[in-house]
Structure 1
Amino acid sequence: MNGQERRREIRELLESSAAKIRGSDLAKRFSVSRQVIVGDVALLKAEGVPVVSTPRGYILKREGEKPCGYLETLVCCHDAAHTEEELTIMVSLGALVHNVSVEHEVYGTLTGSLEIGTLEEVRDFIRAMRGGHSLLLSTLSGGIHSHLVETKDREHMEQVKEALRKAGFLYHKEEP
């Protein structure tokens, strides 16, 4: 099978699946390396295929798909050791953490997709970060980062913000 055929099949798999498909599973299925799949996904994205890369696999963003809850960007600040606690607070209160963003002095805004909404997904993310050779984006910005967070409604968002505030994670600039 050539690359073009493999990418067509990857696209078809993504179109027919509501669940995330791990890159390592695609690599096994097509008897190629994980890096080949990363390249295939990059080429699919370049062709306009709306592939979303998450820490737990690839998923296709459905056309017209919109968040079903209340969205807000929350700015947080903490060291890497508190990432699990921060994410756990949010998902324990029913939030879905869509992404993480930091401001970089050269590149501007850098954003990573998370799509974390369960305690299991928090544990998977933390395990992947500890087991890999990757750094959290927040290490590039002295711990200051933002998350696009979705909750059922505004009241639930206020609960999330209050819990983050109590934990000392919600960023606020001291006014002179």
Structure 2
Amino acid sequence: MTGKERRARIVELLEGAQAPVSGTALARELGVSRQVIVQDVALLRADGTAVVSTSRGYSLARDARPCRLLKEHHRDDEVADEMYLIVDMGGTIEDTMVNHRTYGQMSAHLGVSSRRDVERFLDDLRSSRSSLLSGITSGYHFHHVRADSEETLDAIEQALREHGWLVPMSDYEREALR
């Protein structure tokens, strides 16, 4: 079983579970170590799968809204406009992710769904004297964006394209980041 197949099976097991499933139980079921399960869960989260960790094990967050991975590029001074555009159109920015040639994939959960969330994010960024994660990839980054419908996601994607922020994904990125 490949890693991709194993992660798909983890999702199946969690979808079918009525209660959280321990890492030990998943490891036993899949014939791997608990550490492999921890790594697989991290990869699933980076891919946008909402795996929740509790003291009793893993479960899936039950957000059935459609989700789309978008690749973008913009200047740092455009981040507020980009985020406002997405949330004003009904989107939730689940995360931000970069795919660095040396460091690999790095992501951070955002959960930004309102102008207030955007302001909080920007205030946190300013007060911590930190820079955007996309700074290490010259402004290129990815977001998993969730909305109530595919039509809303289509409209968000079109608006990002019209602003010149949407960038085509390579076949490699599409496969590696899904």
Give a deviation string over 1:40-93, Cα, whole Å, max 9, x none. Answer: xxxxxx8xxx9xxxxxxxxx6672323221111000000111111101000001
Partner of 1:71: 67
Does 1:104 pair with 2:66? no
Does 1:165 pair with 2:176? no
Distance 1:68 1:96 in 2: 13
Distance 1:126 1:167 in 2: 20
Give the ranges of 4+ consecutive aligned residues of structure 1 lying more than 4 Å apart after TM superposition: none
Alignment of 1:77-92 (within 5 A): 77-92=73-88
CA RMSD of aligned residues (A): 1.9
**2:127 partner amino acid:** G
**2:120 partner amino acid:** D
Gaps of 5+ in 2: 1-37, 43-51, 170-178
Aligned counterpart in structure 1 of residue 132 of structure 2, from 128, 132, 136? 136
Gaps of 5+ in 1: 1-45, 51-59
Distance 1:130 1:65 in 2: 30
Distance 2:134 2:111 in 1: 17
TM normalised by structure 1 equals: 0.61
Instruction: Count the aligned residue pairs.
Output: 116
Partner of 1:152: 148
Q: CA deviation at 1:161?
A: 0.5
TM normalised by structure 2 equals: 0.61
Give a deviation string over 1:6-62, Cα, whole Å, max 9, x none. Answer: xxxxxxxxxxxxxxxxxxxxxxxxxxxxxxxxxxxxxxxx8xxx9xxxxxxxxx667
SS in structure 1 opposite 2:60?
Answer: coil
Distance 1:142 1:64 in 2: 33
Distance 1:128 1:167 in 2: 26
Aligned counterpart in structure 2 of residue 122 of structure 1, from 114, 118, 134? 118
